[in-house]
Structure 1
Protein backbone atom coordinates (compact mmCIF):
# COMPACT_ATOMS: atom_id res chain seq x y z
CA UNK A 1 0.00 0.00 0.00
CA UNK A 2 1.38 3.41 -0.95
CA UNK A 3 2.02 6.15 1.61
CA UNK A 4 -0.56 8.35 -0.08
CA UNK A 5 -3.23 5.66 0.17
CA UNK A 6 -2.45 5.03 3.83
CA UNK A 7 -2.75 8.74 4.55
CA UNK A 8 -6.05 8.98 2.69
CA UNK A 9 -7.46 5.98 4.53
CA UNK A 10 -6.42 7.45 7.84
CA UNK A 11 -8.03 10.75 6.98
CA UNK A 12 -11.20 9.05 5.81
CA UNK A 13 -11.43 7.15 9.07
CA UNK A 14 -10.93 10.34 11.03
CA UNK A 15 -13.60 12.06 8.95
CA UNK A 16 -16.08 9.38 9.94
CA UNK A 17 -15.51 10.43 13.51
CA UNK A 18 -16.92 13.83 12.66
CA UNK A 19 -20.65 13.54 12.95
CA UNK A 20 -22.93 14.16 10.01
CA UNK A 21 -24.47 17.08 11.85
CA UNK A 22 -21.11 18.87 11.83
CA UNK A 23 -20.86 18.59 8.09
CA UNK A 24 -22.44 21.46 6.17
CA UNK A 25 -22.22 23.81 9.14
CA UNK A 26 -20.65 26.86 7.51
CA UNK A 27 -19.58 30.20 8.92
CA UNK A 28 -20.89 32.78 6.48
CA UNK A 29 -19.03 36.11 6.28
CA UNK A 30 -20.91 38.08 3.66
CA UNK A 31 -20.76 41.49 2.01
CA UNK A 32 -22.32 42.39 -1.32
CA UNK A 33 -19.15 43.08 -3.29
CA UNK A 34 -15.46 42.29 -2.81
CA UNK A 35 -14.01 44.07 -5.88
CA UNK A 36 -14.68 47.78 -5.28
CA UNK A 37 -13.79 50.69 -7.53
CA UNK A 38 -13.48 52.93 -4.49
CA UNK A 39 -13.67 52.48 -0.75
CA UNK A 40 -16.82 53.27 1.20
CA UNK A 41 -19.04 52.13 4.03
CA UNK A 42 -19.42 48.35 4.04
CA UNK A 43 -22.15 46.16 5.48
CA UNK A 44 -21.42 42.61 6.64
CA UNK A 45 -23.48 39.67 7.80
CA UNK A 46 -21.96 37.02 10.08
CA UNK A 47 -24.22 33.96 10.07
CA UNK A 48 -23.57 30.35 11.09
CA UNK A 49 -25.80 28.31 8.84
CA UNK A 50 -26.13 25.91 5.89
CA UNK A 51 -25.60 28.12 2.83
CA UNK A 52 -26.92 25.80 0.14
CA UNK A 53 -30.22 25.05 1.85
CA UNK A 54 -30.64 28.42 3.55
CA UNK A 55 -30.72 26.85 6.99
CA UNK A 56 -31.15 25.70 9.59
CA UNK A 57 -29.23 28.54 11.19
CA UNK A 58 -27.32 28.06 14.44
CA UNK A 59 -27.19 30.69 17.18
CA UNK A 60 -23.78 32.39 17.23
CA UNK A 61 -22.13 33.38 20.50
CA UNK A 62 -20.39 36.75 20.40
CA UNK A 63 -17.25 36.36 18.23
CA UNK A 64 -13.86 36.15 19.90
CA UNK A 65 -12.35 38.37 17.20
CA UNK A 66 -13.33 40.27 14.06
CA UNK A 67 -10.33 41.99 12.50
CA UNK A 68 -9.29 43.91 9.41
CA UNK A 69 -5.78 43.88 7.98
CA UNK A 70 -5.15 46.45 5.23
CA UNK A 71 -2.18 47.10 2.99
CA UNK A 72 -0.94 50.14 4.94
CA UNK A 73 1.56 48.64 7.34
CA UNK A 74 -0.36 45.42 7.76
CA UNK A 75 -1.67 46.45 11.17
CA UNK A 76 -4.84 44.83 12.47
CA UNK A 77 -7.91 46.87 13.28
CA UNK A 78 -10.28 45.38 15.85
CA UNK A 79 -13.80 45.55 14.39
CA UNK A 80 -15.74 44.10 17.32
CA UNK A 81 -17.10 47.51 18.27
CA UNK A 82 -19.06 47.52 15.00
CA UNK A 83 -20.79 44.19 15.66
CA UNK A 84 -24.43 44.11 16.66
CA UNK A 85 -26.55 41.01 17.25
CA UNK A 86 -29.56 40.33 15.02
CA UNK A 87 -32.12 37.57 14.74
CA UNK A 88 -31.34 36.04 11.35
CA UNK A 89 -34.21 34.50 9.43
CA UNK A 90 -33.30 31.31 7.61
CA UNK A 91 -35.74 29.13 5.73
CA UNK A 92 -36.25 26.88 8.72
CA UNK A 93 -35.77 29.08 11.79
CA UNK A 94 -34.48 32.29 13.34
CA UNK A 95 -31.25 32.42 15.31
CA UNK A 96 -28.75 34.92 16.65
CA UNK A 97 -26.29 36.23 14.07
CA UNK A 98 -24.36 39.49 13.70
CA UNK A 99 -24.30 42.54 11.46
CA UNK A 100 -21.39 44.93 11.10
CA UNK A 101 -21.33 48.40 9.53
CA UNK A 102 -17.71 49.21 8.73
CA UNK A 103 -17.02 52.94 8.24
CA UNK A 104 -15.59 54.31 5.03
CA UNK A 105 -12.29 55.45 6.48
CA UNK A 106 -11.27 51.88 7.29
CA UNK A 107 -11.82 50.63 3.73
CA UNK A 108 -10.73 53.74 1.84
CA UNK A 109 -7.09 52.88 0.93
CA UNK A 110 -6.40 51.28 -2.43
CA UNK A 111 -5.40 47.63 -2.32
CA UNK A 112 -6.43 44.56 -0.37
CA UNK A 113 -8.34 44.42 2.90
CA UNK A 114 -8.49 41.09 4.73
CA UNK A 115 -11.43 40.55 7.07
CA UNK A 116 -10.94 37.74 9.59
CA UNK A 117 -13.55 36.25 11.90
CA UNK A 118 -12.67 34.05 14.86
CA UNK A 119 -15.95 32.74 16.29
CA UNK A 120 -16.48 31.27 19.70
CA UNK A 121 -16.63 27.45 19.45
CA UNK A 122 -20.19 26.35 18.76
CA UNK A 123 -21.58 23.35 20.61
CA UNK A 124 -23.36 20.87 18.36
CA UNK A 125 -25.28 19.57 21.36
CA UNK A 126 -26.85 16.52 19.74
CA UNK A 127 -23.43 15.06 19.03
CA UNK A 128 -21.37 16.56 21.84
CA UNK A 129 -19.00 18.30 19.43
CA UNK A 130 -17.66 21.86 19.26
CA UNK A 131 -17.04 23.57 15.90
CA UNK A 132 -14.86 26.63 15.41
CA UNK A 133 -14.44 28.01 11.91
CA UNK A 134 -11.73 30.64 11.36
CA UNK A 135 -13.10 32.59 8.40
CA UNK A 136 -11.51 34.98 5.88
CA UNK A 137 -12.96 37.29 3.26
CA UNK A 138 -10.72 39.53 1.13
CA UNK A 139 -11.87 42.85 -0.37
CA UNK A 140 -10.00 44.85 -3.01
CA UNK A 141 -10.29 48.58 -3.64
CA UNK A 142 -9.36 50.15 -6.96
CA UNK A 143 -7.78 47.10 -8.61
CA UNK A 144 -4.45 47.68 -6.88
CA UNK A 145 -3.20 44.22 -5.99
CA UNK A 146 -1.79 43.82 -2.51
CA UNK A 147 -1.32 41.10 0.08
CA UNK A 148 -4.25 38.87 -0.87
CA UNK A 149 -1.97 35.79 -0.97
CA UNK A 150 -0.31 36.36 2.41
CA UNK A 151 -1.27 34.18 5.39
CA UNK A 152 -2.51 36.17 8.37
CA UNK A 153 -1.23 33.88 11.11
CA UNK A 154 -4.42 32.09 12.10
CA UNK A 155 -4.22 28.67 13.79
CA UNK A 156 -5.89 27.32 10.64
CA UNK A 157 -6.47 29.13 7.34
CA UNK A 158 -6.62 28.78 3.57
CA UNK A 159 -3.91 30.74 1.75
CA UNK A 160 -5.23 31.89 -1.65
CA UNK A 161 -3.26 31.09 -4.78
CA UNK A 162 -5.77 33.05 -6.88
CA UNK A 163 -7.35 36.40 -6.07
CA UNK A 164 -10.52 35.47 -4.15
CA UNK A 165 -12.27 38.60 -5.44
CA UNK A 166 -11.43 38.24 -9.17
CA UNK A 167 -12.80 34.96 -10.56
CA UNK A 168 -14.82 34.27 -13.72
CA UNK A 169 -17.38 31.51 -14.04
CA UNK A 170 -15.82 28.41 -15.53
CA UNK A 171 -12.48 29.07 -13.88
CA UNK A 172 -10.82 27.37 -10.93
CA UNK A 173 -9.68 28.57 -7.55
CA UNK A 174 -6.62 27.19 -5.77
CA UNK A 175 -5.50 27.61 -2.18
CA UNK A 176 -3.14 26.05 0.33
CA UNK A 177 -4.62 24.58 3.51
CA UNK A 178 -2.48 25.71 6.46
CA UNK A 179 -2.32 24.79 10.14
CA UNK A 180 0.11 26.81 12.26
CA UNK A 181 1.46 28.22 9.00
CA UNK A 182 2.36 24.83 7.52
CA UNK A 183 0.62 23.01 4.62
CA UNK A 184 -1.75 20.20 5.58
CA UNK A 185 -1.39 17.27 3.14
CA UNK A 186 -4.64 15.57 2.10
CA UNK A 187 -6.82 17.84 4.23
CA UNK A 188 -10.52 17.13 3.85
CA UNK A 189 -12.32 20.07 2.24
CA UNK A 190 -15.99 20.91 1.80
CA UNK A 191 -17.26 23.40 -0.79
CA UNK A 192 -20.70 24.94 -0.61
CA UNK A 193 -22.54 27.41 -2.80
CA UNK A 194 -24.48 30.27 -1.20
CA UNK A 195 -27.71 29.27 -2.83
CA UNK A 196 -30.08 31.90 -1.42
CA UNK A 197 -30.03 35.67 -1.73
CA UNK A 198 -28.84 37.56 1.34
CA UNK A 199 -31.07 40.41 2.50
CA UNK A 200 -28.86 42.50 4.76
CA UNK A 201 -31.61 44.94 5.73
CA UNK A 202 -34.13 42.29 6.73
CA UNK A 203 -31.49 39.94 8.14
CA UNK A 204 -32.69 36.98 6.12
CA UNK A 205 -31.96 34.45 3.41
CA UNK A 206 -34.24 34.65 0.39
CA UNK A 207 -36.81 31.89 0.12
CA UNK A 208 -36.06 31.01 -3.51
CA UNK A 209 -33.08 28.78 -4.26
CA UNK A 210 -30.84 29.81 -7.15
CA UNK A 211 -30.17 26.20 -8.22
CA UNK A 212 -31.63 22.77 -7.50
CA UNK A 213 -29.31 19.92 -6.62
CA UNK A 214 -29.95 16.76 -8.68
CA UNK A 215 -29.03 14.64 -5.65
CA UNK A 216 -28.23 15.40 -1.96
CA UNK A 217 -24.56 14.65 -2.63
CA UNK A 218 -24.38 17.80 -4.78
CA UNK A 219 -25.42 20.12 -1.95
CA UNK A 220 -22.04 19.85 -0.21
CA UNK A 221 -19.10 19.11 -2.47
CA UNK A 222 -16.12 17.28 -0.99
CA UNK A 223 -12.47 17.08 -1.97
CA UNK A 224 -9.04 16.42 -0.53
CA UNK A 225 -6.05 18.72 -0.76
CA UNK A 226 -3.03 17.22 -2.49
CA UNK A 227 0.30 16.19 -0.93
CA UNK A 228 1.35 19.87 -0.72
CA UNK A 229 -1.90 20.94 0.92
CA UNK A 230 -3.22 22.55 -2.28
CA UNK A 231 -6.94 22.31 -2.98
CA UNK A 232 -8.42 23.10 -6.41
CA UNK A 233 -12.07 24.13 -6.71
CA UNK A 234 -14.06 24.55 -9.92
CA UNK A 235 -16.27 27.64 -10.17
CA UNK A 236 -19.19 26.80 -12.47
CA UNK A 237 -21.61 29.50 -11.31
CA UNK A 238 -21.54 33.17 -10.37
CA UNK A 239 -22.04 34.10 -6.75
CA UNK A 240 -20.39 33.07 -3.52
CA UNK A 241 -18.51 29.84 -2.84
CA UNK A 242 -17.41 28.85 0.64
CA UNK A 243 -14.37 26.59 1.02
CA UNK A 244 -13.80 24.87 4.37
CA UNK A 245 -10.86 22.68 5.41
CA UNK A 246 -12.16 20.50 8.22
CA UNK A 247 -10.71 19.51 11.58
CA UNK A 248 -7.14 20.62 10.89
CA UNK A 249 -6.38 22.56 14.07
CA UNK A 250 -3.90 21.51 16.70
CA UNK A 251 -6.45 22.04 19.48
CA UNK A 252 -8.76 19.03 19.55
CA UNK A 253 -10.84 19.59 22.70
CA UNK A 254 -12.86 22.41 24.24
CA UNK A 255 -14.57 22.26 27.63
CA UNK A 256 -13.97 18.53 27.75
CA UNK A 257 -15.54 17.79 24.38
CA UNK A 258 -14.18 17.18 20.89
CA UNK A 259 -13.33 20.33 18.90
CA UNK A 260 -13.16 20.64 15.12
CA UNK A 261 -11.14 23.70 14.10
CA UNK A 262 -11.89 24.48 10.46
CA UNK A 263 -10.47 27.03 8.02
CA UNK A 264 -13.01 28.86 5.84
CA UNK A 265 -12.42 31.16 2.87
CA UNK A 266 -15.13 32.84 0.80
CA UNK A 267 -14.65 33.35 -2.94
CA UNK A 268 -16.79 35.61 -5.14
CA UNK A 269 -17.36 34.66 -8.79
CA UNK A 270 -18.62 36.81 -11.70
CA UNK A 271 -20.26 35.85 -15.00
CA UNK A 272 -18.31 36.35 -18.20
CA UNK A 273 -20.15 38.88 -20.38
Structure 2
Protein backbone atom coordinates (compact mmCIF):
# COMPACT_ATOMS: atom_id res chain seq x y z
CA UNK A 1 0.00 0.00 0.00
CA UNK A 2 2.75 2.44 0.93
CA UNK A 3 4.41 1.69 -2.40
CA UNK A 4 1.22 2.61 -4.24
CA UNK A 5 1.08 5.92 -2.40
CA UNK A 6 4.72 6.62 -3.19
CA UNK A 7 4.29 5.94 -6.90
CA UNK A 8 1.20 8.15 -7.06
CA UNK A 9 2.96 10.94 -5.19
CA UNK A 10 6.03 10.84 -7.44
CA UNK A 11 3.91 10.89 -10.59
CA UNK A 12 1.93 13.81 -9.29
CA UNK A 13 5.04 15.69 -8.26
CA UNK A 14 6.51 15.33 -11.74
CA UNK A 15 3.26 16.52 -13.28
CA UNK A 16 3.01 19.56 -11.05
CA UNK A 17 6.62 20.55 -11.53
CA UNK A 18 6.26 20.18 -15.28
CA UNK A 19 3.19 22.39 -15.23
CA UNK A 20 5.09 25.10 -13.39
CA UNK A 21 2.50 25.40 -10.64
CA UNK A 22 1.51 23.83 -7.35
CA UNK A 23 -2.07 22.68 -7.35
CA UNK A 24 -3.96 21.97 -4.15
CA UNK A 25 -4.70 18.41 -3.10
CA UNK A 26 -8.19 17.66 -1.84
CA UNK A 27 -9.60 14.62 -0.14
CA UNK A 28 -13.00 14.10 -1.77
CA UNK A 29 -16.17 12.44 -0.46
CA UNK A 30 -18.81 13.19 -3.07
CA UNK A 31 -22.33 11.73 -2.82
CA UNK A 32 -24.78 11.57 -5.71
CA UNK A 33 -27.22 13.62 -3.62
CA UNK A 34 -26.76 15.87 -0.61
CA UNK A 35 -30.49 15.92 0.15
CA UNK A 36 -32.27 12.57 0.35
CA UNK A 37 -35.99 12.35 -0.44
CA UNK A 38 -38.55 9.57 -0.66
CA UNK A 39 -37.93 9.54 -4.42
CA UNK A 40 -34.17 9.01 -3.98
CA UNK A 41 -33.47 6.88 -0.90
CA UNK A 42 -30.11 5.51 -2.04
CA UNK A 43 -26.99 7.58 -2.62
CA UNK A 44 -23.77 6.63 -4.38
CA UNK A 45 -20.62 7.99 -2.74
CA UNK A 46 -17.23 8.37 -4.44
CA UNK A 47 -14.00 8.76 -2.46
CA UNK A 48 -10.78 10.05 -3.98
CA UNK A 49 -7.70 12.22 -3.53
CA UNK A 50 -7.62 14.64 -6.42
CA UNK A 51 -7.25 18.12 -7.88
CA UNK A 52 -10.95 18.89 -8.27
CA UNK A 53 -10.94 21.94 -10.52
CA UNK A 54 -8.31 20.66 -12.94
CA UNK A 55 -9.84 17.14 -12.83
CA UNK A 56 -6.45 15.55 -12.19
CA UNK A 57 -6.78 12.35 -10.21
CA UNK A 58 -4.28 10.43 -8.10
CA UNK A 59 -4.30 6.78 -7.09
CA UNK A 60 -5.59 6.36 -3.55
CA UNK A 61 -5.25 3.17 -1.53
CA UNK A 62 -8.12 2.02 0.65
CA UNK A 63 -8.78 4.55 3.44
CA UNK A 64 -7.88 3.85 7.03
CA UNK A 65 -11.41 4.68 8.11
CA UNK A 66 -14.74 5.50 6.47
CA UNK A 67 -17.88 5.91 8.52
CA UNK A 68 -21.10 7.86 8.96
CA UNK A 69 -22.27 9.74 12.05
CA UNK A 70 -26.01 10.33 12.59
CA UNK A 71 -27.82 11.24 15.80
CA UNK A 72 -24.58 10.81 17.72
CA UNK A 73 -24.07 7.22 16.53
CA UNK A 74 -21.09 6.17 14.40
CA UNK A 75 -21.46 3.39 11.83
CA UNK A 76 -18.43 1.83 10.14
CA UNK A 77 -18.73 1.74 6.34
CA UNK A 78 -15.16 0.73 5.46
CA UNK A 79 -16.05 -2.80 4.38
CA UNK A 80 -18.76 -1.48 2.05
CA UNK A 81 -16.17 0.21 -0.17
CA UNK A 82 -15.17 -1.19 -3.53
CA UNK A 83 -12.54 0.04 -5.95
CA UNK A 84 -13.73 2.58 -8.51
CA UNK A 85 -12.15 4.78 -11.13
CA UNK A 86 -12.27 8.49 -10.27
CA UNK A 87 -10.73 10.97 -12.72
CA UNK A 88 -8.92 8.09 -14.39
CA UNK A 89 -7.28 6.85 -11.19
CA UNK A 90 -7.98 4.45 -8.35
CA UNK A 91 -10.64 5.66 -5.99
CA UNK A 92 -13.35 4.03 -3.91
CA UNK A 93 -17.14 3.93 -3.95
CA UNK A 94 -20.14 2.67 -2.04
CA UNK A 95 -23.92 2.82 -2.05
CA UNK A 96 -25.74 3.87 1.10
CA UNK A 97 -29.46 3.45 1.76
CA UNK A 98 -30.89 6.12 4.05
CA UNK A 99 -33.54 4.46 6.17
CA UNK A 100 -34.70 7.26 8.46
CA UNK A 101 -34.74 11.06 8.77
CA UNK A 102 -31.55 12.67 9.98
CA UNK A 103 -28.39 14.57 9.17
CA UNK A 104 -25.60 12.22 8.07
CA UNK A 105 -21.91 13.12 8.38
CA UNK A 106 -19.84 10.91 6.05
CA UNK A 107 -16.19 10.90 7.12
CA UNK A 108 -13.04 9.56 5.46
CA UNK A 109 -9.62 9.21 7.06
CA UNK A 110 -7.11 8.25 4.34
CA UNK A 111 -3.80 6.53 4.71
CA UNK A 112 -0.87 9.03 4.73
CA UNK A 113 0.06 10.17 1.22
CA UNK A 114 3.75 10.85 0.59
CA UNK A 115 4.18 13.94 -1.62
CA UNK A 116 7.83 14.30 -2.72
CA UNK A 117 7.18 17.68 -4.35
CA UNK A 118 6.40 19.09 -0.89
CA UNK A 119 8.70 16.76 1.08
CA UNK A 120 5.96 15.71 3.48
CA UNK A 121 3.08 13.33 4.03
CA UNK A 122 -0.53 14.45 3.69
CA UNK A 123 -3.58 13.32 5.67
CA UNK A 124 -6.91 14.92 4.76
CA UNK A 125 -9.76 14.24 7.17
CA UNK A 126 -12.65 14.65 4.74
CA UNK A 127 -16.31 15.19 5.56
CA UNK A 128 -19.58 15.61 3.66
CA UNK A 129 -22.95 16.26 5.28
CA UNK A 130 -26.20 14.87 3.83
CA UNK A 131 -29.73 15.72 5.00
CA UNK A 132 -32.58 13.22 4.76
CA UNK A 133 -36.37 13.40 4.73
CA UNK A 134 -36.70 16.97 5.99
CA UNK A 135 -34.54 16.67 9.12
CA UNK A 136 -31.97 19.43 9.66
CA UNK A 137 -30.75 18.91 13.23
CA UNK A 138 -27.06 18.44 14.04
CA UNK A 139 -25.40 19.81 10.90
CA UNK A 140 -23.36 22.28 12.98
CA UNK A 141 -21.95 19.70 15.40
CA UNK A 142 -18.32 18.49 15.21
CA UNK A 143 -17.70 14.77 14.90
CA UNK A 144 -14.46 14.72 16.91
CA UNK A 145 -11.79 14.60 14.20
CA UNK A 146 -8.20 15.68 14.93
CA UNK A 147 -8.97 18.64 12.68
CA UNK A 148 -12.26 19.53 11.01
CA UNK A 149 -14.37 22.32 9.58
CA UNK A 150 -17.70 22.87 11.33
CA UNK A 151 -20.19 24.66 9.09
CA UNK A 152 -21.86 27.81 10.36
CA UNK A 153 -24.07 28.02 7.29
CA UNK A 154 -26.38 25.02 6.96
CA UNK A 155 -24.44 22.93 4.39
CA UNK A 156 -27.43 21.92 2.27
CA UNK A 157 -30.34 23.76 0.68
CA UNK A 158 -28.10 26.61 -0.50
CA UNK A 159 -27.79 28.54 -3.74
CA UNK A 160 -24.77 29.57 -5.77
CA UNK A 161 -23.93 33.07 -4.62
CA UNK A 162 -24.44 32.23 -0.94
CA UNK A 163 -21.52 32.92 1.38
CA UNK A 164 -20.36 29.77 3.10
CA UNK A 165 -19.07 30.27 6.66
CA UNK A 166 -17.24 27.67 8.72
CA UNK A 167 -15.01 27.30 11.76
CA UNK A 168 -11.73 25.39 11.71
CA UNK A 169 -11.02 23.22 14.74
CA UNK A 170 -7.82 21.45 15.75
CA UNK A 171 -8.24 18.98 18.61
CA UNK A 172 -11.66 20.50 19.19
CA UNK A 173 -10.35 24.05 19.65
CA UNK A 174 -10.59 27.02 17.26
CA UNK A 175 -7.60 27.23 14.91
CA UNK A 176 -6.63 30.87 14.85
CA UNK A 177 -5.48 32.23 11.47
CA UNK A 178 -5.84 28.86 9.75
CA UNK A 179 -5.21 28.87 6.01
CA UNK A 180 -8.18 27.57 4.02
CA UNK A 181 -7.98 26.51 0.37
CA UNK A 182 -11.14 26.50 -1.73
CA UNK A 183 -11.92 24.80 -5.04
CA UNK A 184 -14.93 24.05 -7.17
CA UNK A 185 -15.27 20.46 -8.34
CA UNK A 186 -15.29 21.22 -12.05
CA UNK A 187 -16.99 17.89 -12.70
CA UNK A 188 -18.12 18.54 -16.27
CA UNK A 189 -14.92 20.37 -17.18
CA UNK A 190 -16.89 23.33 -18.49
CA UNK A 191 -14.97 26.01 -16.58
CA UNK A 192 -11.49 27.29 -17.36
CA UNK A 193 -9.45 29.35 -14.92
CA UNK A 194 -8.02 32.66 -16.22
CA UNK A 195 -4.68 31.75 -14.62
CA UNK A 196 -3.00 29.52 -12.07
CA UNK A 197 -3.96 31.73 -9.14
CA UNK A 198 -7.66 31.29 -9.96
CA UNK A 199 -7.66 27.50 -9.61
CA UNK A 200 -7.42 27.47 -5.81
CA UNK A 201 -8.82 30.35 -3.75
CA UNK A 202 -7.12 31.01 -0.39
CA UNK A 203 -8.59 32.48 2.81
CA UNK A 204 -7.09 33.17 6.23
CA UNK A 205 -9.46 32.45 9.11
CA UNK A 206 -9.79 34.93 11.96
CA UNK A 207 -8.58 34.49 15.53
CA UNK A 208 -11.54 32.18 16.22
CA UNK A 209 -10.87 29.98 13.20
CA UNK A 210 -13.90 31.42 11.37
CA UNK A 211 -13.84 32.10 7.63
CA UNK A 212 -16.34 32.99 4.89
CA UNK A 213 -16.33 32.50 1.14
CA UNK A 214 -18.93 33.43 -1.47
CA UNK A 215 -19.40 30.56 -3.94
CA UNK A 216 -20.13 32.08 -7.37
CA UNK A 217 -21.11 28.92 -9.27
CA UNK A 218 -23.39 25.94 -8.58
CA UNK A 219 -21.82 22.57 -7.79
CA UNK A 220 -19.67 20.91 -5.16
CA UNK A 221 -17.30 23.25 -3.31
CA UNK A 222 -14.42 21.95 -1.22
CA UNK A 223 -12.87 23.77 1.75
CA UNK A 224 -9.52 22.52 3.05
CA UNK A 225 -8.02 23.98 6.22
CA UNK A 226 -4.33 23.14 6.42
CA UNK A 227 -2.17 22.72 9.51
CA UNK A 228 1.07 21.02 10.52
CA UNK A 229 0.91 17.92 12.69
CA UNK A 230 2.93 17.72 15.91
CA UNK A 231 4.39 14.39 14.78
CA UNK A 232 6.37 13.04 11.84
CA UNK A 233 6.03 10.09 9.46
CA UNK A 234 8.92 8.30 7.78
CA UNK A 235 9.33 8.87 4.06
CA UNK A 236 10.22 6.04 1.61
CA UNK A 237 13.91 6.43 2.55
CA UNK A 238 13.10 5.99 6.23
CA UNK A 239 13.62 9.66 7.15
CA UNK A 240 11.29 11.42 9.56
CA UNK A 241 9.30 14.04 7.67
CA UNK A 242 6.55 16.50 8.52
CA UNK A 243 2.86 15.85 8.07
CA UNK A 244 0.29 18.21 6.56
CA UNK A 245 -3.16 17.79 8.07
CA UNK A 246 -6.20 18.90 6.14
CA UNK A 247 -9.68 19.46 7.51
CA UNK A 248 -11.79 19.10 4.38
CA UNK A 249 -15.50 19.79 4.02
CA UNK A 250 -17.58 19.49 0.84
CA UNK A 251 -20.89 21.26 0.33
CA UNK A 252 -23.24 21.53 -2.65
CA UNK A 253 -24.82 24.73 -3.94
CA UNK A 254 -27.76 24.67 -6.34
CA UNK A 255 -28.79 27.15 -8.97
CA UNK A 256 -32.28 28.63 -9.05
CA UNK A 257 -34.71 26.66 -11.19
CA UNK A 258 -36.83 28.37 -13.82
CA UNK A 259 -40.57 27.86 -13.89
Q: Same fold by TM (over 0.5)?
A: yes
Q: Of 129, 146, 150, which aligns to 1:155? A: 146
1:211 aligns with 2:191: yes
Query: How big is the shift at 1:23?
Result: 4.6
Task: Give the CA deviation at 1:196.
Answer: 1.9
Q: For residues 123 and 114 of structure 1, what CA distance do their matches in structure 2 show?
A: 27
The one-character-per-residue Cα deviations of 1:203-236 (angstroms, maximum 9, x if unpaired) are xxxxxx2212122211100010011110101111
The aligned counterpart of 2:73 is: 75
Matched, 1:45 2:46: yes
- CA 1:83 to 1:251, structure 2 compared with 1: closer, same or farther past 3 Å? farther
- Of residues 173, 178, 193, the one that matches 2:164 is 173
Listed as ranges, the matches of 1:92-103 within 5 Å are 94-102=88-96
3-state DSSP class of the match of 2:242? strand
Q: Would you say the 8 A contact 2:179–2:226 is kept in 1? A: yes
Contact kept, 8 Å, 2:178 with 2:204, in 1: the verdict is yes
Relative distance call for 1:184 and 1:246 in structure 2 (3 A) is same
1:47, distance to aligned residue in structure 2 (A): 1.2
Deviation at 1:21, TM superposition (A): 7.6
Task: Please give the secondary structure, in 2, of the residue aligned with 1:217.
Answer: helix
Query: Would you say the 8 A contact 2:226–2:245 is kept in 1?
Result: yes
Q: 1:108 to 1:241 in 2, by over 3 A?
A: same
2 CA distance for matches of 1:119 and 1:254? 14
Q: What is the aligned partner in structure 1 of residue 137 from structure 2?
A: 146
Whether contact under 8 Å (2:30, 2:46) holds in the other structure is: yes
Alignment RMSD (CA, Å): 1.8
CA contact (8 A) 2:33 2:43 kept: no
Aligned partners of 2:29, 2:77: CA distance in 1, in Å? 14
**Structure 1 Cα separation of the partners of residues 21 and 198 of structure 2:** 17
1:267 matched to 2:236? The reply is: no
Q: Residue 29 of structure 1 aligns with which residue?
A: 29
Equivalent-residue separation in structure 2 for 1:213 and 1:125 (angstroms): 26
The count of aligned residue pairs is: 233
On the 8 A contact 2:69/2:106 being kept in 1, the answer is yes
CA shift for structure 1 position 22: 6.8
SS across alignment from 1:81? helix
Work out whether residues 252 and 260 of structure 1, in 8 Å CA contact, stay in contact via their aligned partners in 2.
no
CA contact 1:133–1:261 (8 Å) conserved in 2: yes
Could you tell me how far apart the structure 2 residues matched to 1:27 and 1:177 are? 16
Normalized against structure 1, the TM-score is what?
0.81
Aligned residue in 1 for 2:66: 66
Separation in structure 2 between the aligned mates of residue 120 and residue 165 of structure 1, nearest angstrom: 28
**Residues 1:251 and 2:233 aligned together:** no
Please say if residues 107 and 125 of structure 2, whose CA atoms lie closer than 8 Å, have aligned partners that are also in contact.
Answer: yes
- Supply the distance in 2 between the matched residues of 1:267 and 1:233 (Cα, whole angstroms): 12
TM-score, normalising length: structure 2: 0.85
Name stretches of at least 5 consecutive residues in structure 2 with no aligned partner: 1-16, 235-239
- Contact in 2 for aligned 1:53/1:196 (Cα 8 Å): no
CA contact (8 A) 1:22 1:124 kept: no
